[in-house]
Structure 1
Amino acid sequence: MRAGRRNAVGALVVVALLGGAVGCSGSDGAAKETRKNTKAESAQSGQSAANVITAAYKKTAAAKSARVEMSMSMPESADGGGAIKVTGMQGWDPTVMDFTMDGSMLAKAGSDGPSKVRMIWRDNIMYMDMGAEAAKELPDGKRWMKMDLGAMAEQSGDAQAMKAMTSGLDDMNQNPAQQLALLLESPNLKHLGAATVDGVKTEHYKGHLTVDEMMKSNSALDVLEPKDRKQLLDNIEKTGIKGYDTEVWVNQDNFPARMDVTMKTPKGDMKVMSKYSDYGAAIQVKTPPAGETVDFMDLMKELGQNAGGAGASS
């Protein structure tokens, strides 16, 4: 495989994982019933903000699926900066998704990369459509990349990595129920008033979590040793990220119509905006045939062998 193709494949994998994992700082889903520090009153039946978000969490968790339109932007000056848009269907409990991604972030893969990437997640395995051009350089012209994250962690020989990866698989998509549970951890959750989202009447809520508060409420990080947790916290703080602002617009059916997560960095804001509809819709996700997929780990081994034996080919 030529060096340009190798770089394109690697870049696409990074973008896809970023798109799938963005906003993945979900909690364990055990939303708290009340928050002592929350005083704000909501226009929805005069309930407290915490009670409204708790009710929204319960309905969203029970719905188990929704249609999603998600956009993420990062400062161009930041590594991997740019924008990406994700559309499709997703389900939780169990995790399943069929997303299509496009945007300037895909340009990082170079001219060999596709303008759009389709990503399918089912049975804890991710499949990525690498595009027709990349398929020309993949084994037997297969255009689908298969990534079994649990198997990848197991092959790494790192027991802790395996436990972290398999326990966190359900956090690897933008699950609105988990995001609501995380928002309930905010000590300053408040109601901002009524608002209209795409013609739908909603009530607007906002909360802030520091990085440390987010990590304490994220059960996917429970597997980390104290020293590893501290190192992760230190690394995040080195980026200049102080915390996370989460906003949610709850419709009259007690479902989130929109959720925004903003992280302020020295180079500018990183923002994820998600709009949800069709809660509870049936999702039919078909994975590509085995004959059309190439295993990511096998490909990485091949690329390593080729890189070592072929030198700087192009």
Structure 2
Amino acid sequence: MSTYKRIGLAVVSAAALVAVAGCQGSETGGKAADKAAPRVKSRASAIEALTVAYEKTAEAKSAKVEMTMSMPAGLDGGGDMKMSGVMGWDPAVMDMTMTGSALTAGDPDAPDQIRMVMQDDVMYMDMGEKAPAEMDGKRWMKMDFGAIADKMAEEGADPQMQKALTGGMDNMNQDPAQQMALLLESPSLKHLGSETVAGQKTDHYKGKLTVKEMLEANKSFDFLEGEDRDELLKNVEKSGIEGYDTEVWVNKDGYPVKMDVGMETPQGTVEINQTFSDYGAKAAVEVPSDSETFDMLKMLEELEQAGGMEG
């Protein structure tokens, strides 16, 4: 596997893990911190309870996160990825470490783990001791998506591609509140009963969104209009993806303890399992200095000079 493909795999993997099931932008309301999610049975009551949980979680602004993504063998080689650390929203910050078989993909030169730090809409990825030689001896890859989009604009790239890139950055730091906002849009939302998870008594909810419903509910795709939006929907449906199953377990204080997302594909089911704790935990991060980072813009410029990505 080429150096640039390994870097690209790491970037795409990070984006996929952090952005999964998220929706960009929302507003919190009411004095939700003073409320507790009621025990419920009907769909209407489930919506009421999850709305309270959504508001409380949004107000918490941060949490510790453990996340696992399992992909079937037929999907880009398959395998598992794990992430753990602290994530904050409003403002968006993150300090997470990613490991797993899907990261290395059988490549002995791939890093065993990648630490990801995000602040001020810029992502930094620590490639470790196995950082490619093209990074000039530096461990950290810097990805300023806004700067990359500006570069694309200067070179006359498709404006829709630029919007997709910056919109993707907006979607990379998704908190459990935003994921519950999507679940609230599910017409099949229901309460499955009470369960004990991680030693806590919780209420278990489940809902499903079709691809079309997800696109309509997810504001991250607002940059697509008319034919472009129809084309995206057509391509996703053509891939065989039918929809997204989401389950969430909410404790007596109204915070999600666990969230599972399943996405059916022709190759099998992609499963994402997340657990949350320590809501309100400090999410301040330290980003590496410029002297420690290799800017992804430089990599893109080198690729352009070389005439494309090596195979």
**Fold equivalence (TM over 0.5):** yes
1:16 positional shift: 2.3
Query: In the TM superposition, what whole-angstrom CA distance separates every residue of 1:180-225 from its partner, at most 9, and x where no partner exists?
Result: 1111111121100001111111000011111101101111211112
Contact 1:23 1:173 in 2 (8 A): no
Question: Structure 1 residue 8 and structure 2 residue 3: aligned?
Answer: no
1:279 positional shift: 0.3
Contact 1:42 1:191 in 2 (8 A): no
Contact 1:134 1:143 in 2 (8 A): yes
1:12 positional shift: 2.1
User: Secondary structure, in 3 states, of the residue corresponding to 2:105?
Assistant: helix
Query: In the TM superposition, what whole-angstrom CA distance separates every residue of 1:115-147 from its partner, at most 9, and x where no partner exists?
Result: 111111110000011121225x03430110000
Query: In the TM superposition, what whole-angstrom CA distance separates every residue of 1:47-96 from its partner, at most 9, and x where no partner exists?
Result: 81011100000000000000000001111111252110010000011111
Contact 2:29 2:55 in 1 (8 A): no
> 1:187 corresponds to which residue?
187
> 1:207 corresponds to which residue?
207
Q: Following the alignment from structure 2 to structure 1, what is the Cα–Cα distance between the partners of residues 263 and 270?
A: 5
Pair 167,79 (structure 1): closer, same or farther in 2 beyond 3 Å: closer
Question: Structure 1 residue 51 and structure 2 residue 39: aligned?
Answer: no
User: Secondary structure, in 3 states, of the residue corresponding to 2:276?
Assistant: strand
Q: Following the alignment from structure 2 to structure 1, what is the Cα–Cα distance between the partners of residues 28 and 165?
A: 23
Whichever residue aligns with residue 265 of structure 2, its letter is T
Q: Following the alignment from structure 1 to structure 2, what is the Cα–Cα distance between the partners of residues 131 and 138?
A: 14
Whichever residue aligns with residue 124 of structure 2, its letter is Y
Question: Structure 1 residue 89 and structure 2 residue 83: aligned?
Answer: no
State how 1:1-314 maps to structure 2 within 5 Å. Answer: 4-24=2-22, 26=23, 28-29=25-26, 43=39, 48-108=45-105, 110-135=107-132, 137-157=133-153, 158-167=158-167, 169-306=169-306
Q: Following the alignment from structure 2 to structure 1, what is the Cα–Cα distance between the partners of residues 237 and 60?
A: 35
Q: Following the alignment from structure 1 to structure 2, what is the Cα–Cα distance between the partners of residues 216 and 183?
A: 13
Contact 1:130 1:143 in 2 (8 A): yes
1:8 positional shift: 2.3
1:164 positional shift: 4.2
Pair 227,262 (structure 1): closer, same or farther in 2 beyond 3 Å: same
Contact 1:53 1:184 in 2 (8 A): yes
User: Secondary structure, in 3 states, of the residue corresponding to 1:156?
Assistant: helix
Pair 267,45 (structure 1): closer, same or farther in 2 beyond 3 Å: closer
| Count of residues paired in the alignment | 299
> 1:36 corresponds to which residue?
none
> 1:37 corresponds to which residue?
none
Q: Following the alignment from structure 1 to structure 2, what is the Cα–Cα distance between the partners of residues 11 and 76?
A: 16
1:307 positional shift: 6.5
Pair 130,147 (structure 1): closer, same or farther in 2 beyond 3 Å: same
Uncovered stretches (5+) of structure 1, i.e. residues with no partner: 34-40
Pair 294,109 (structure 1): closer, same or farther in 2 beyond 3 Å: farther
Q: Following the alignment from structure 1 to structure 2, what is the Cα–Cα distance between the partners of residues 80 and 22?
A: 19
Query: In the TM superposition, what whole-angstrom CA distance separates every residue of 1:138-166 from its partner, at most 9, and x where no partner exists?
Result: 34301100001111112111434334443
Pair 287,61 (structure 1): closer, same or farther in 2 beyond 3 Å: same
User: Secondary structure, in 3 states, of the residue corresponding to 1:20?
Assistant: helix
Contact 1:28 1:218 in 2 (8 A): no
Contact 1:12 1:113 in 2 (8 A): no
Query: In the TM superposition, what whole-angstrom CA distance separates every residue of 1:202-260 from its partner, at most 9, and x where no partner exists?
Result: 00001111110110111121111211111111111112111111110000110000111
1:42 positional shift: 6.3
Contact 1:125 1:146 in 2 (8 A): yes
Q: TM-score, normalised by structure 1?
A: 0.88
Q: TM-score, normalised by structure 2?
A: 0.88
Uncovered stretches (5+) of structure 2, i.e. residues with no partner: 31-36
Whichever residue aligns with residue 178 of structure 2, its letter is Q
